[in-house]
Amino acid sequence: DINVCILENYPECSNPRLFYIIPYFCGQHPRCREPGEWALERAKLNVNENFLLVGILEELEDVLLLLERFLPHYFKDVLNIYKNPEHRKLGNLTVTVKKTVPSPEAIQVLYQRMRYEYEFYYYVKEQFHLLKRKFGLKSHIRKPRPRPEFFIPSPLETEEPIDDEEEDDEKWLEDIYKR
């Protein structure tokens, strides 16, 4: 049972691999392998300075729209390809047979073990939403499920792009390529 595994600290449920996204974005410095504020802040800095776009899977269609806009030579018509029924069949080749939802206590333990990963995710999500707003992308995302009280609230969560001051989209994109 997943709850017993997490709550009784079985090795397969308390693996240091719970810290795996931040090291990827942090870089090759030895401190990037240690869960903590330093690695988290360096990963955030690298997202801002070294990546044109970091998307989130639950808004994949918006990610594809932005990729098509930023890099049309590589991503021309990518959303239509993604929505093609033939492609959809390929994406559903695996399924979990007996899925068990972890208890709130188990989720709390996992959250504590992965607090830096959660903070990084919310940061990336906010940056992605800022980018969507900058380009006027109105998404059709489902309302997220409310998070339990023990989750850290995202400081600047945006569910839907809001209207900002209008800015020349192409100039902003040119500035990105100058970095």
Question: pLDDT over 70 for what percent of the chain?
Answer: 72
Query: Tokens 């401190």, residue?
Result: 31
CATH number of the domain within which 75 lies: 3.40.50.300
Question: Measuring CA to CA, which residue among 14, 61, 21 is closest to residue 39?
Answer: 21
Range of the domain at 72: 2-135
Residue 20's pLDDT is what? 84
Domain-embedded: residue 75: yes
Choice among 24-38, 84-98, 123-137 with the minimum mean pLDDT: 84-98
Domain-embedded: residue 28: yes
With 60 as the cut, is the pLDDT of residue 52 above it? yes
Domain-embedded: residue 51: yes
Instruction: Tell me what the mean pLDDT of segment 141-162 comes to.
Output: 49
In the numeric block, which tokens belong to residue 24? Answer: 């990827």
Choice among 36-45, 58-67, 98-107 with the minimum mean pLDDT: 98-107
Neighbours of 10 (CB within 10 A): 12
| Number of domains, the chain | 1
